[in-house]
A and B are shown apart, each in its own frame.
Chain A
Amino acid sequence: MVMKLYSHYMSSCTFRVRIALRLKGLDHEYIAVDMINGEHLTDEFLKLNPLGMVPALVDGDIIIADSFAILMYLEEKYPEHPLLPNDFQKRALNYQAANIVSSNIQPLQNPRIQASRKFSMYIGKISSPDEMLPWTQHHICRGFAALEKLLANCAGKYATGDEVSLADCFIAPQVDAASKRFKIDMNDYPLLSRLYKAYVELPAFKDAMPENQPDSPAVGI
C-alpha cells in the first residue's frame, strides 16, 4: 500500500518531507489538506496529528506527524539513499543544522502562528500586521547567520559535504521561503545562497517546491 503524505503546498515543513521522499525514491500519494478552510482542525485530521499541522505521513498502520519525526522514520525504515552520513560528527552537524531551522527559525515564522488571533493580539498590538515581518526577519536572520558559521568548515557542494543530507532537507525549504516570502536579502548569506543554487538543480528539490504541488494555485487545480 502506497504511503500517504498529508500536505499543504506552502508548508515548508512538508516541503522537507517532499524532498526526502523523492531523494529516497519513495512512492507516495499526495493528499492536500485545505488549511484555508480549516480542514486541519477537523476531527478526522486531528487523529492524524493532534497538533493540527501538516505534514502527516501514513505508512500502512503507522501514522506519524512532525517533519523531523517523519524524516527520522523514513531514514530508519528505508535506509537506501541515506540522508545521514556514518561519521558521528557529521551526523551531529546535520542534526544541529536541522534544529536551527526547525526550532529556532520556522516556528517563529509559521503563518498560522502569525495569523492566529492570539499572535496578532500579542504582536499586532505593537504594529500593523505588515510589521510582523520584522519579527519574522529577525529570527530568520539570526538563524541564517548561525548556519553560515556552523557550516563554514564542513559545507561542500551541499550543506555538510558533497552529498545531499538531512540538513539540506531543512535548509532548502527555509531559504526558499526566506527569499520568496519574507524578503530576506540572501546576499548577506553567501554560503546559503550557494547551496540554494545547487538545490535548484536537483529534481528532488524542484519537484517538491510549493509552486509545483497539486494544490498550488500556480498548478491551476
Chain B
Amino acid sequence: MGDSSTSKIKLYSFYRSSCACRVRIALNLKGIDYEYKAVNLFQGEQFSPDFLKLNPLGYVPVLVDGETTLADSFAILMYLEEKYPQYPLLPEDPNKRAINYQAANIVCSSIQPFQNLAVLKYIDENVGSGESIHWALTHINKGFAALEKLLAKYAGKYATGDEVFLADLFLAPQIQGSITRFNIDMTSYPLLLRVYKAYEELSAFQDAMPEKQPDAPKDIKVVS
C-alpha cells in the first residue's frame, strides 16, 4: 500500500474551484485514482512558499504525477488526455475537436478569469462591496449567450453531441458555480440548462462537485 500511495497522482484542489472541478471530472471519467490535497484559498494557503513552488501563480489546480508537476486546468486536462487515453475527452472529428477547444476556451479565457477570487476581491475593495457579483454576471452572461449560439449546431445529449467531451468538463463547473455563487438566471440559456441536467445523471460529474469534496463546509449551498 505504501508503494501505491507514493505513485498515486496528487491533485491540489479547493472544493469551490471550478478549474479544479474540471480536473476532478476528468480523473473520475478516466478512472484514475488520486489523492486530494486541499488548499484553503479563503485562508491564503495558495500563497504559502510550499504551494508557490508548485505553482508560482498561486492557483489551484495543480497535478503531481510522479516527477511531473503541472498547473493550469487546460494543461492538466491535455496532459491527462495524452498520457491516459482511456475514456477519450476529445472526439476524432477535427471540426468537433475544434468546437470543444473553442467552448472550453470561452469558459477558461472569457468567463472564469473574471470571477476568480483575486479579481472579485479587487472589485469589492476598490469599487464597492458586492459590486463583484454584477461584474461576474456581466461576463458570465456574455459567455453563456455565446455558448448557446456556438453549441446550437452541435449539441446532442451533451454539449457537442451524445458523448461527454472536453467542453462538458468546462461547462459543468461553470454552470454550477454561476447558479450557486452568482444566482444566474438560466432561463435565457435553455441549451446549457438541458446539458447541465444531463450532467446531474453522471456520477463522474456529481462526485466532482464542490459539495462532495473532502474540504467542503457542512453548510455548502447546492444546486436544487
Contact = CB atoms under 8 A, between A and B. Distances in A.
Interface string A134-146: 0100000011011
Nearest to B71: A96
A102 B108 CA distance: 9
Contacts of B98: 62, 64, 69-70, 72-73
A175 B34 CA distance: 37
B82 A68 contact: no
Contacts of B82: 88, 91
A103 B109 CA distance: 4
A40 B220 CA distance: 41
B70 A92 contact: yes
A150 interface: yes
A66 B101 contact: yes
B211 interface: no
Most buried by B among A50, A65, A93: A50
A125 interface: yes
Size bracket of the A interface:
35 or more
A77 B119 CA distance: 37
Nearest to A91: B82
B68 A88 contact: yes
Interface residues of B, number: 48
Interface string B142-161: 11011101100000000000
A68 B145 CA distance: 20
Given A89-B68, A96-B71, A104 B113 contact: yes
Contacts of A98: 75
B182 interface: no
A69 B101 CA distance: 5
B215 interface: no
A62 B154 CA distance: 13
A213 interface: no
B79 interface: yes
Contacts of A99: 72, 74-75, 108
Contacts of A106: 109
A155 to B, nearest CB: 15
Given A77-B94, A150-B56, A103 B74 contact: yes
A122 B68 contact: no
A191 to B, nearest CB: 13
B218 interface: no
Most buried by A among B68, B105, B126: B105
A126 B124 CA distance: 11
Contacts of B131: 122
B120 to A, nearest CB: 11
Interface string B116-136: 000100110011100100110
Contacts of A68: 74, 101, 105, 109
B105 A146 contact: no
A50 B74 contact: no
A141 B93 CA distance: 39
Q: Which 10 A-B pairs have the closest CB atoms?
A: A95-B75, A69-B101, A50-B149, A69-B102, A96-B75, A50-B146, A92-B79, A73-B98, A149-B56, A51-B146
7 contacts: A49-B146, A64-B98, A66-B101, A95-B74, A95-B79, A103-B72, A150-B56
